Structure 1
Amino acid sequence: MVMKIRCTACGSAKFTFTHDPSSEASFHGARCANCNKRLTARDLLPNTPLDPIARCLVSQMKKNTNNRGT
């Protein structure tokens, strides 16, 4: 699945992952590369479509699941 991210503070689409042992345990490490803001679920763009390869894989998995009963 493709996730599109855009920082709500500065609008940048670039991000980095950091490791800070002193930060809270629930923080995943993703920060905006431009303004260094912690990225949250609000920074994910809604209605991000699946890329064609992921769509094909999902449809194959559904077909395999449906065929197992017969």
Structure 2
Amino acid sequence: MLVVLLDNQLCSPHQVCQTCLMADQNGQPRWHQGQLRCGRALRKLTDDMPEQFECQMGFRIAHIE
């Protein structure tokens, strides 16, 4: 599951990505085979942290299982 990290809260990508020009037809991030196509991967500081990405618009997105 993908979530958008905002200060002290988690949001659904649909709430943030719906109006983004980089989003797919459904207003979701372009996620394909474990990669965020509309952003870049961020380095993990510890192994127990979820994968995190920074989208083109500057939001931080985490992949949580």
TM-score (norm 1): 0.27
Greater share of helix: 1
Task: Point out the structure with max Rg over C-alpha.
Answer: 1
TM-score (structure 2 length as normaliser): 0.28
Higher strand fraction (1 or 2): 2
